[in-house]
Amino acid sequence: MKIGIDKIGFYTPHLYVDMNKLAVSRNVEPEKFTIGIGQSKMAIPPISQDPVTLAANAALEILDNEDKEKIDFVIFGTESGIDNSKSAGVYVHRLLGLNPHARAVEVKQACYGATAGIQMAKGHIALNPDSKVLVLGSDIARYGLNTSGEATQGAGAVALLISAEPRIMELEENNVYLTDDIMDFWRPIYSDKAFVDGKFSNEQYILFFEKVWEQYKAKTDLSLKDFEAICFHLPYTKMGLKALRAVLDEAEEEDKERLLANFEISRKYNRNVGNIYTGSLYLSLLSLLEQKDDLQSGAKIGLFSYGSGAVGEFFTGILQPNYREHLHIAEHTQLFAARKEVTVAEYEEIFQETLPIDGSTLELDVTNDPATICLAGMKDNMRQYVNKED
Protein backbone atom coordinates (compact mmCIF):
# COMPACT_ATOMS: atom_id res chain seq x y z
CA MET A 1 0.00 0.00 0.00
CA LYS A 2 1.27 3.47 -0.91
CA ILE A 3 1.09 6.12 1.84
CA GLY A 4 1.80 9.80 1.34
CA ILE A 5 0.62 13.31 0.62
CA ASP A 6 -2.86 13.45 -0.88
CA LYS A 7 -3.43 17.22 -0.70
CA ILE A 8 -1.40 20.31 0.28
CA GLY A 9 -2.90 23.57 1.52
CA PHE A 10 -1.09 26.80 2.34
CA TYR A 11 -1.91 30.09 3.99
CA THR A 12 0.10 33.21 4.70
CA PRO A 13 -1.20 36.51 6.13
CA HIS A 14 -2.25 39.28 3.72
CA LEU A 15 0.47 41.74 4.76
CA TYR A 16 4.16 41.85 3.90
CA VAL A 17 7.17 44.13 4.15
CA ASP A 18 9.62 44.60 1.28
CA MET A 19 13.10 43.42 2.26
CA ASN A 20 14.80 46.19 0.26
CA LYS A 21 12.96 48.76 2.36
CA LEU A 22 13.66 46.91 5.60
CA ALA A 23 17.37 46.86 4.69
CA VAL A 24 17.44 50.61 4.04
CA SER A 25 15.79 51.32 7.37
CA ARG A 26 18.31 49.04 9.15
CA ASN A 27 21.29 50.70 7.37
CA VAL A 28 22.12 47.49 5.57
CA GLU A 29 22.81 47.07 1.86
CA PRO A 30 19.60 45.64 0.30
CA GLU A 31 21.64 42.88 -1.41
CA LYS A 32 22.56 41.48 1.99
CA PHE A 33 18.88 40.62 2.54
CA THR A 34 17.87 39.81 -1.04
CA ILE A 35 21.01 37.86 -2.05
CA GLY A 36 23.05 37.15 1.11
CA ILE A 37 19.97 35.98 3.05
CA GLY A 38 17.86 35.31 -0.04
CA GLN A 39 14.59 36.94 1.01
CA SER A 40 12.45 39.39 -1.02
CA LYS A 41 9.31 39.84 1.09
CA MET A 42 8.48 39.01 4.69
CA ALA A 43 4.94 38.03 5.68
CA ILE A 44 3.55 40.12 8.56
CA PRO A 45 0.78 38.57 10.66
CA PRO A 46 -1.85 41.04 11.90
CA ILE A 47 -2.94 40.54 15.50
CA SER A 48 -6.06 38.77 14.18
CA GLN A 49 -3.90 35.85 12.92
CA ASP A 50 -2.09 33.38 15.15
CA PRO A 51 -0.69 29.86 14.53
CA VAL A 52 -4.16 28.34 15.05
CA THR A 53 -5.89 30.56 12.47
CA LEU A 54 -3.04 30.28 9.96
CA ALA A 55 -3.25 26.49 10.13
CA ALA A 56 -7.05 26.43 9.97
CA ASN A 57 -7.03 28.72 6.91
CA ALA A 58 -4.41 26.50 5.22
CA ALA A 59 -6.52 23.38 5.81
CA LEU A 60 -9.82 25.03 4.87
CA GLU A 61 -8.93 25.29 1.19
CA ILE A 62 -8.16 21.58 0.73
CA LEU A 63 -10.71 19.65 2.77
CA ASP A 64 -13.99 18.40 1.34
CA ASN A 65 -16.80 16.77 3.33
CA GLU A 66 -15.45 13.26 2.77
CA ASP A 67 -12.03 14.32 4.14
CA LYS A 68 -13.68 15.91 7.18
CA GLU A 69 -15.47 12.65 7.89
CA LYS A 70 -12.41 10.44 7.35
CA ILE A 71 -9.81 12.48 9.24
CA ASP A 72 -9.44 10.74 12.59
CA PHE A 73 -6.12 12.28 13.63
CA VAL A 74 -5.00 15.91 13.64
CA ILE A 75 -1.30 16.45 14.30
CA PHE A 76 -0.31 20.07 14.75
CA GLY A 77 3.42 20.79 14.48
CA THR A 78 4.37 24.19 15.87
CA GLU A 79 7.04 25.96 17.88
CA SER A 80 5.01 29.12 18.40
CA GLY A 81 2.03 27.45 20.08
CA ILE A 82 -0.43 29.57 22.02
CA ASP A 83 -0.91 27.36 25.08
CA ASN A 84 1.40 25.24 27.20
CA SER A 85 -1.36 22.74 27.88
CA LYS A 86 -4.14 22.65 25.29
CA SER A 87 -3.15 21.54 21.82
CA ALA A 88 -3.61 23.93 18.90
CA GLY A 89 -4.98 20.90 17.02
CA VAL A 90 -8.12 20.89 19.17
CA TYR A 91 -9.05 24.45 18.12
CA VAL A 92 -8.45 23.62 14.46
CA HIS A 93 -10.52 20.45 14.79
CA ARG A 94 -13.49 22.54 15.92
CA LEU A 95 -12.97 25.44 13.50
CA LEU A 96 -12.96 23.03 10.54
CA GLY A 97 -15.93 20.98 11.76
CA LEU A 98 -14.06 17.65 11.68
CA ASN A 99 -15.49 14.30 12.73
CA PRO A 100 -15.69 14.35 16.58
CA HIS A 101 -14.20 10.85 16.72
CA ALA A 102 -10.70 12.05 15.97
CA ARG A 103 -7.52 12.56 17.96
CA ALA A 104 -5.95 16.03 18.06
CA VAL A 105 -2.48 16.71 19.44
CA GLU A 106 0.40 19.17 19.17
CA VAL A 107 3.94 18.03 18.39
CA LYS A 108 7.03 20.06 19.21
CA GLN A 109 10.64 19.82 18.09
CA ALA A 110 11.38 23.22 16.59
CA CYS A 111 10.98 23.24 12.80
CA TYR A 112 10.94 19.43 12.71
CA GLY A 113 7.45 19.10 14.31
CA ALA A 114 5.45 18.67 11.10
CA THR A 115 7.93 16.09 9.80
CA ALA A 116 7.49 14.11 13.02
CA GLY A 117 3.74 14.44 12.43
CA ILE A 118 4.02 13.04 8.92
CA GLN A 119 6.00 10.03 10.13
CA MET A 120 3.40 9.35 12.86
CA ALA A 121 0.66 9.75 10.27
CA LYS A 122 2.30 7.12 8.06
CA GLY A 123 2.24 4.63 10.93
CA HIS A 124 -1.39 5.47 11.67
CA ILE A 125 -2.45 4.98 8.04
CA ALA A 126 -0.53 1.69 7.85
CA LEU A 127 -2.69 0.41 10.71
CA ASN A 128 -5.90 2.16 9.56
CA PRO A 129 -5.79 2.31 5.76
CA ASP A 130 -9.23 3.92 5.42
CA SER A 131 -8.47 6.87 7.63
CA LYS A 132 -6.84 10.19 6.76
CA VAL A 133 -4.54 12.29 8.91
CA LEU A 134 -4.37 16.07 8.86
CA VAL A 135 -0.80 17.24 9.55
CA LEU A 136 -0.34 20.96 10.13
CA GLY A 137 2.86 23.00 10.27
CA SER A 138 2.06 26.53 11.42
CA ASP A 139 4.25 29.22 12.91
CA ILE A 140 5.05 32.87 13.38
CA ALA A 141 8.83 33.39 13.39
CA ARG A 142 9.84 36.25 15.71
CA TYR A 143 13.38 37.31 16.59
CA GLY A 144 12.73 40.97 17.41
CA LEU A 145 13.10 44.38 15.81
CA ASN A 146 16.67 45.33 14.89
CA THR A 147 18.09 41.88 15.59
CA SER A 148 20.26 39.90 13.17
CA GLY A 149 17.48 37.33 12.92
CA GLU A 150 14.89 39.97 11.97
CA ALA A 151 15.39 39.48 8.23
CA THR A 152 14.54 35.79 8.67
CA GLN A 153 11.10 36.26 10.28
CA GLY A 154 7.87 35.23 8.56
CA ALA A 155 4.44 33.70 9.14
CA GLY A 156 2.34 31.01 7.54
CA ALA A 157 1.09 27.47 7.59
CA VAL A 158 1.01 24.36 5.47
CA ALA A 159 -1.69 21.69 5.78
CA LEU A 160 -0.95 18.17 4.52
CA LEU A 161 -3.56 15.48 4.11
CA ILE A 162 -1.85 12.11 4.56
CA SER A 163 -3.62 9.04 3.25
CA ALA A 164 -3.32 5.68 1.53
CA GLU A 165 -3.06 5.79 -2.27
CA PRO A 166 -2.08 9.48 -2.17
CA ARG A 167 -2.67 11.63 -5.25
CA ILE A 168 0.36 13.94 -4.96
CA MET A 169 3.36 12.15 -3.49
CA GLU A 170 4.08 8.69 -2.18
CA LEU A 171 6.42 8.86 0.81
CA GLU A 172 9.09 6.18 0.56
CA GLU A 173 10.82 4.20 3.30
CA ASN A 174 14.58 4.47 4.00
CA ASN A 175 14.28 7.64 6.11
CA VAL A 176 17.43 8.56 8.00
CA TYR A 177 17.43 10.79 11.08
CA LEU A 178 19.69 12.23 13.72
CA THR A 179 19.33 13.85 17.16
CA ASP A 180 21.96 15.86 19.03
CA ASP A 181 21.41 18.06 22.11
CA ILE A 182 22.76 21.45 21.00
CA MET A 183 21.83 25.08 21.71
CA ASP A 184 21.70 26.70 18.29
CA PHE A 185 18.18 28.14 18.54
CA TRP A 186 15.65 27.93 21.35
CA ARG A 187 12.75 29.82 22.94
CA PRO A 188 12.23 29.54 26.71
CA ILE A 189 8.55 29.50 27.70
CA TYR A 190 8.81 33.04 29.16
CA SER A 191 9.88 34.56 25.86
CA ASP A 192 7.81 35.34 22.76
CA LYS A 193 11.00 35.76 20.74
CA ALA A 194 13.57 33.15 19.80
CA PHE A 195 17.16 33.11 21.07
CA VAL A 196 19.68 32.07 18.48
CA ASP A 197 23.38 31.51 18.01
CA GLY A 198 23.16 32.41 14.33
CA LYS A 199 26.53 31.24 13.01
CA PHE A 200 26.42 28.04 15.05
CA SER A 201 22.90 27.29 13.79
CA ASN A 202 24.09 27.66 10.18
CA GLU A 203 27.02 25.30 10.79
CA GLN A 204 24.86 22.71 12.54
CA TYR A 205 22.21 22.79 9.83
CA ILE A 206 24.83 21.95 7.19
CA LEU A 207 26.51 19.35 9.40
CA PHE A 208 23.18 17.62 10.04
CA PHE A 209 22.43 17.58 6.31
CA GLU A 210 25.86 16.13 5.50
CA LYS A 211 25.48 13.45 8.15
CA VAL A 212 22.00 12.27 7.16
CA TRP A 213 22.91 12.41 3.47
CA GLU A 214 25.97 10.21 4.09
CA GLN A 215 23.85 7.78 6.07
CA TYR A 216 21.17 7.76 3.35
CA LYS A 217 23.71 6.96 0.64
CA ALA A 218 25.20 4.14 2.72
CA LYS A 219 21.73 2.72 3.38
CA THR A 220 20.39 2.92 -0.18
CA ASP A 221 23.31 3.02 -2.61
CA LEU A 222 21.60 6.00 -4.28
CA SER A 223 23.33 9.25 -5.22
CA LEU A 224 22.49 12.79 -6.36
CA LYS A 225 21.85 11.62 -9.92
CA ASP A 226 18.78 9.72 -8.68
CA PHE A 227 17.06 12.91 -7.55
CA GLU A 228 15.06 15.31 -9.67
CA ALA A 229 15.22 17.85 -6.86
CA ILE A 230 16.05 18.20 -3.17
CA CYS A 231 13.88 20.44 -1.03
CA PHE A 232 15.18 21.89 2.22
CA HIS A 233 13.84 23.38 5.39
CA LEU A 234 14.36 27.06 4.55
CA PRO A 235 14.86 29.32 7.60
CA TYR A 236 16.02 31.77 4.93
CA THR A 237 16.47 30.64 1.36
CA LYS A 238 20.27 31.00 1.18
CA MET A 239 20.52 28.37 3.94
CA GLY A 240 19.24 25.59 1.68
CA LEU A 241 21.58 26.69 -1.09
CA LYS A 242 24.54 26.48 1.29
CA ALA A 243 23.58 22.94 2.29
CA LEU A 244 23.03 21.84 -1.31
CA ARG A 245 26.40 23.30 -2.34
CA ALA A 246 28.06 21.35 0.47
CA VAL A 247 27.38 18.07 -1.37
CA LEU A 248 27.25 19.17 -5.03
CA ASP A 249 30.86 18.26 -5.76
CA GLU A 250 29.72 14.63 -5.71
CA ALA A 251 27.53 15.23 -8.78
CA GLU A 252 28.16 15.21 -12.53
CA GLU A 253 27.70 18.57 -14.26
CA GLU A 254 24.20 17.87 -15.63
CA ASP A 255 22.95 16.67 -12.24
CA LYS A 256 24.45 19.73 -10.58
CA GLU A 257 22.68 22.02 -13.03
CA ARG A 258 19.34 20.26 -12.59
CA LEU A 259 19.53 20.30 -8.79
CA LEU A 260 20.54 23.97 -8.69
CA ALA A 261 17.86 25.00 -11.19
CA ASN A 262 15.17 23.11 -9.28
CA PHE A 263 16.41 24.53 -5.98
CA GLU A 264 15.79 28.02 -7.39
CA ILE A 265 12.18 27.08 -8.12
CA SER A 266 11.76 25.43 -4.73
CA ARG A 267 12.68 28.64 -2.92
CA LYS A 268 10.32 31.01 -4.78
CA TYR A 269 7.45 30.87 -2.28
CA ASN A 270 9.76 30.91 0.76
CA ARG A 271 11.60 33.93 -0.65
CA ASN A 272 8.30 35.83 -0.54
CA VAL A 273 7.01 34.60 2.81
CA GLY A 274 10.02 34.20 5.13
CA ASN A 275 10.59 31.51 7.69
CA ILE A 276 7.44 29.64 8.70
CA TYR A 277 9.44 27.20 10.82
CA THR A 278 7.52 23.87 10.83
CA GLY A 279 5.92 24.50 7.44
CA SER A 280 9.02 25.81 5.64
CA LEU A 281 10.17 22.53 4.09
CA TYR A 282 6.66 21.81 2.83
CA LEU A 283 6.25 25.34 1.48
CA SER A 284 9.43 24.75 -0.49
CA LEU A 285 8.05 21.45 -1.81
CA LEU A 286 4.84 23.26 -2.77
CA SER A 287 6.84 25.95 -4.55
CA LEU A 288 8.63 23.30 -6.60
CA LEU A 289 5.44 21.40 -7.46
CA GLU A 290 3.37 24.45 -8.33
CA GLN A 291 6.02 26.56 -10.06
CA LYS A 292 7.74 23.90 -12.18
CA ASP A 293 5.12 22.87 -14.69
CA ASP A 294 7.23 20.22 -16.47
CA LEU A 295 8.06 18.18 -13.37
CA GLN A 296 7.23 14.60 -14.34
CA SER A 297 5.27 12.11 -12.27
CA GLY A 298 7.57 9.33 -11.10
CA ALA A 299 10.27 11.87 -10.18
CA LYS A 300 12.08 11.26 -6.90
CA ILE A 301 12.24 14.30 -4.59
CA GLY A 302 14.55 14.45 -1.55
CA LEU A 303 13.38 16.30 1.57
CA PHE A 304 15.67 17.59 4.32
CA SER A 305 13.96 18.55 7.56
CA TYR A 306 15.86 20.34 10.34
CA GLY A 307 14.59 21.40 13.74
CA SER A 308 17.07 23.27 15.90
CA GLY A 309 18.04 21.79 19.18
CA ALA A 310 18.37 19.56 17.10
CA VAL A 311 16.75 16.81 15.00
CA GLY A 312 17.36 16.30 11.28
CA GLU A 313 15.80 13.87 8.83
CA PHE A 314 16.28 13.05 5.16
CA PHE A 315 13.50 11.24 3.34
CA THR A 316 12.13 10.91 -0.15
CA GLY A 317 8.91 10.94 -2.12
CA ILE A 318 7.76 9.92 -5.59
CA LEU A 319 5.39 12.17 -7.55
CA GLN A 320 2.17 10.42 -8.50
CA PRO A 321 0.44 10.32 -11.91
CA ASN A 322 -1.51 13.54 -12.65
CA TYR A 323 -0.37 15.03 -9.34
CA ARG A 324 -0.69 18.59 -10.74
CA GLU A 325 -4.47 18.21 -10.97
CA HIS A 326 -4.60 17.98 -7.18
CA LEU A 327 -2.62 21.16 -6.45
CA HIS A 328 -4.24 24.54 -5.67
CA ILE A 329 -2.11 26.65 -7.98
CA ALA A 330 -4.75 29.26 -8.86
CA GLU A 331 -5.67 29.83 -5.21
CA HIS A 332 -2.03 30.31 -4.20
CA THR A 333 -1.33 32.65 -7.12
CA GLN A 334 -4.31 34.70 -5.95
CA LEU A 335 -3.19 34.56 -2.30
CA PHE A 336 0.19 36.06 -3.23
CA ALA A 337 -1.30 38.60 -5.68
CA ALA A 338 -3.80 39.93 -3.14
CA ARG A 339 -1.22 40.69 -0.46
CA LYS A 340 -0.77 44.29 0.68
CA GLU A 341 2.55 45.92 1.40
CA VAL A 342 3.04 47.68 4.74
CA THR A 343 5.77 50.22 5.49
CA VAL A 344 8.57 49.39 7.90
CA ALA A 345 6.94 51.74 10.46
CA GLU A 346 3.60 49.93 10.10
CA TYR A 347 5.33 46.55 10.45
CA GLU A 348 7.06 47.71 13.64
CA GLU A 349 3.74 48.87 15.06
CA ILE A 350 2.03 45.55 14.21
CA PHE A 351 5.00 43.61 15.63
CA GLN A 352 4.63 45.32 19.01
CA GLU A 353 0.87 44.80 19.36
CA THR A 354 0.05 42.30 22.09
CA LEU A 355 -2.96 40.45 23.42
CA PRO A 356 -4.02 41.06 27.04
CA ILE A 357 -2.45 38.77 29.63
CA ASP A 358 -4.55 39.97 32.62
CA GLY A 359 -7.86 38.36 31.71
CA SER A 360 -9.33 41.56 30.32
CA THR A 361 -11.61 41.54 27.29
CA LEU A 362 -10.41 42.55 23.84
CA GLU A 363 -12.54 42.64 20.74
CA LEU A 364 -10.63 42.73 17.45
CA ASP A 365 -12.07 44.14 14.24
CA VAL A 366 -11.70 41.26 11.77
CA THR A 367 -13.38 43.04 8.85
CA ASN A 368 -9.99 44.23 7.53
CA ASP A 369 -8.54 40.72 7.66
CA PRO A 370 -9.49 38.84 4.46
CA ALA A 371 -8.90 35.44 6.09
CA THR A 372 -11.94 33.24 6.62
CA ILE A 373 -10.78 32.16 10.07
CA CYS A 374 -9.57 34.88 12.42
CA LEU A 375 -8.79 35.58 16.04
CA ALA A 376 -11.64 37.88 17.09
CA GLY A 377 -10.43 38.73 20.57
CA MET A 378 -9.74 37.59 24.13
CA LYS A 379 -12.08 37.00 27.03
CA ASP A 380 -11.26 35.54 30.47
CA ASN A 381 -7.83 34.46 29.15
CA MET A 382 -9.46 32.54 26.31
CA ARG A 383 -8.83 33.24 22.64
CA GLN A 384 -12.03 33.87 20.71
CA TYR A 385 -11.91 32.46 17.20
CA VAL A 386 -14.32 33.09 14.38
CA ASN A 387 -14.97 31.22 11.13
CA LYS A 388 -16.70 33.81 8.94
CA GLU A 389 -18.38 31.00 6.96
CA ASP A 390 -20.17 29.60 10.05
Q: So which residues are the catalytic ones?
A: 79, 111, 233
Distance (Å, rounded) from C-alpha 211 to C-alpha 209? 5
Q: Of 13 and 149, which has the nearer Cβ to ligand CAA?
A: 149
List the one residue from 8, 15, 37, 212 that touches ligand CAA (CB under 6 A): 37
* Binding residue for ligand CAA, selected from 31, 83, 226, 341, defined by CB under 6 A: 31
By CB under 6 A, tell whether 35 contacts ligand CAA. yes
Residue nearest to ligand CAA (CB): 36
Binding mask 86-125 for ligand CAA (x = CB under 6 A): -------------------------x--------------
What DSSP state is assigned to residue 37? I
Q: Which of the ranges 49-57, 145-153, 285-293, 329-337 carries the binding residues for ligand CAA, by CB under 6 A? A: 145-153
Name residue 22's beta-bridge partners: none
Per DSSP, the chain holds a count of helices (H) and strands (E) of 13, 18
346 binds ligand CAA (CB under 6 A): no
Cα dihedral 81→46→267→211 (10° resolution): -20
Backbone phi and psi for residue 244, each to the nearest 5 degrees, phi listed first: -60, -45
First to last CA, the chain: 37
* Residue from 12, 308, 316, 320 in contact with ligand CAA (CB under 6 A): 308
Q: Residue 64 contacts by C-beta under 8 Å, 6 or more apart in sequence?
A: none
Q: Is 152 in the site for ligand CAA (CB under 6 A)?
A: yes
- Our finding on whether 29 is near ligand CAA (CB under 6 A) is yes
Among 77, 117, 149, 302, binds ligand CAA (CB under 6 A): 149
Q: What is the CA radius of gyration of the chain?
A: 20
**Cβ 54 to ligand CAA shortest distance, Å:** 16
Q: Are 373 and 387 in contact (CB under 8 A)?
A: yes
User: Number of residues in contact with ligand CAA, rule: CB under 6 A?
Assistant: 28
Nearer to ligand CAA, 91 or 236 (CB): 236
Least CB distance to ligand CAA at residue 260 (A): 15
278 touches ligand CAA by CB under 6 A? no
Give the shortest CB-37-to-ligand CAA separation in angstroms. Answer: 6
Site for ligand CAA in 185-204 (CB under 6 A): 185, 196, 198-199, 201-202
Please, is 169 exposed, middle or buried when counting C-beta atoms within 10 Å of its C-beta (0-12, 13-18, 19+)? buried
31-49 burial, b at 16+ Cβ within 10 Å, e below that, comes to: eebbeebbbbbbbbbbebb
**Taking the complex as a whole, how short is the minimal distance between the CB of residue 249 and ligand CAA, in angstroms?**
17
Find the binder of ligand CAA among 277, 314, 315, 323 (CB under 6 A). Answer: 277
Q: Could you tell me which of 135, 141, 132, 131 has the C-alpha nearest to residue 158?
A: 135
Rule CB under 6 A: is residue 180 a binding residue for ligand CAA? no
Residue 55 to residue 135: CA distance in whole angstroms: 10
Residues 239, 55: Cα–Cα separation, whole Å: 25
Q: Which residue type does 78 have?
A: T
Helices (H), 51-137: 51-60, 65-70, 88-95, 113-127
Nearer CB in complex with ligand CAA: 131/152: 152
Among the residue ranges 31-39, 264-272, 286-294, 356-364, the one whose residues contact ligand CAA (CB under 6 A): 31-39
Q: Give contact residues for ligand CAA (rule: CB under 6 A).
A: 29, 31-32, 35-37, 111, 148-149, 151-152, 184-185, 196, 198-199, 201-202, 205, 233, 235-236, 238-239, 275, 277, 306, 308
